[in-house]
Amino acid sequence: MTAILEDGKLRLSGYVGDYYFEDGFTSSDVVLALAQIDDDEDLAVHINSGGGVASEGAAIHALLSARSGTTNIVVEGIAASAASLIAMAGETVTMSAGSVMMIHDPSGLTFGTSEDHSKTIEGLEALATAYARVYAAKSGKTPEQCREVMKAERWLSPQQAVDEGFADETTEVTADAVAAFDYRIYAHAPKRLTALASKKNWRLDGADKHAAPAAHRPTKEHTMSDKTNGGDKSADIEKEKAAAGKAAVAAYQARRKAVMSMEEAKGCEAQAEALIDTDLSEEAIKTVLAAAPKAPAAGNDDDQQPDPKAYEASRAAGAGVGGKGTLKPTAKAPDLVANMRKLLGKEAV
């Protein structure tokens, strides 16, 4: 459990939900933590989470929102996916310097028939609609506007989160205000100031008379593609890109050969082909294929068909929805965990 209450601060870190690997925090953990303080007591909740199970995030948001005391949220590190929804429970939301907030649509993984996939889509749409309303209540945007933000998958810096209305303040040190002045009259003024002067149309009377001599102004800026005394850098860059492309092709071919030669791939080659293009590790792919129902060999009689109970069990292992901000899985399948770790920027194991 990584829901720790100490000195009036509730720290939530790790996955949102209970995963097969590593620790996370669940709504049950938060209930136990909140039971240690009075409901009308002020509480600071510090969040550092890449997200997890969407339904767990919604439940935790509801618990914090229902408190009669003031709840203030501080984002430390990251509040992504389901964790960003939890952050919306704060009366104030403070983005720490260097922190990130990510808002996106829930996603899911389903194995089964077209009807199974349709049910997953129905669930994800309902969940996305509910999330959009929570974001709208905090930001002042409409639910439709928030839905567009979710579909675009926005990664927000502290100031961007404040500007969009998803946070109230940031601990970042802001730059001093720039005085209105036509900085373009100087030959070597910083580009930020000259661009600001152009955007704001800051002009001085008689500025043309005081403009610096043209001879002092640089005629051209060097770019990465300019030839200098050090050689043609653009050519080096193109060589590096070509080498990287060849390496990527070779790695893909080796991965495909390894997956398709697995014993577990026999009987479900189409699924194996699809999994090759994911970021799952080969070990995780093997686990998925082992749990998947196999296609019966041609000419087999009814006695050779897959056992119905085994088929339903394997389908149940994959029917849960997992991933970045997802419906809670019905089983702790290793493939869903690996997918979650991949979406959070961790290597699947």
Show me where the domains of the chain are located: 3-170, 183-216, 232-295+305-343
Compute, in degrees rounded to 10, the torsion defined by CA atoms 304, 310, 316, 322: -90
CA distances 123 to 94, 109, 321, 344, Å, are 31, 12, 9, 22
Which has the closest alpha carbon to 184: 175, 194, 171?
194
Give the SS3 label for residue 37. coil
Give the SS3 label for residue 292. coil
* DSSP H helical ranges for 223-281: 233-260, 269-276
Tens of each residue's pLDDT in the chain, 349 residues: 578 898 889 999 988 988 656 678 999 999 999 999 999 999 999 999 998 899 999 999 999 999 999 999 999 989 999 999 999 999 999 999 999 999 999 988 888 899 988 998 998 999 999 999 999 999 999 999 999 999 999 999 999 999 999 999 999 765 556 677 777 877 777 776 777 788 778 776 554 444 444 444 444 443 444 444 444 556 677 777 777 778 877 887 888 888 888 888 888 887 778 777 777 788 877 887 787 766 655 444 444 455 555 555 555 444 443 444 443 444 444 454 455 455 545 444 4
Amino acid letter, residue 69:
G
Tens-digit pLDDT profile for residues 285-308? 788 778 776 665 544 444 445 555
Tens-digit pLDDT profile for residues 7-40? 889 999 988 988 656 678 999 999 999 999 999 9
Tokens 């080498």 — which residue? 243
Class of domain 3-170: alpha beta
Distance CA 328, CA 323 (A): 9
User: How many CB atoms within 10 Å of residue 227?
Assistant: 11
CA 334 to chain CA centroid, Å, is: 20
Sort 251 into a burial class: Cβ within 10 Å, 0-12 / 13-18 / 19+.
exposed
Are 167 and 142 contacting, i.e. CB atoms less than 8 angstroms apart? no
Are 315 and 112 contacting, i.e. CB atoms less than 8 angstroms apart? yes
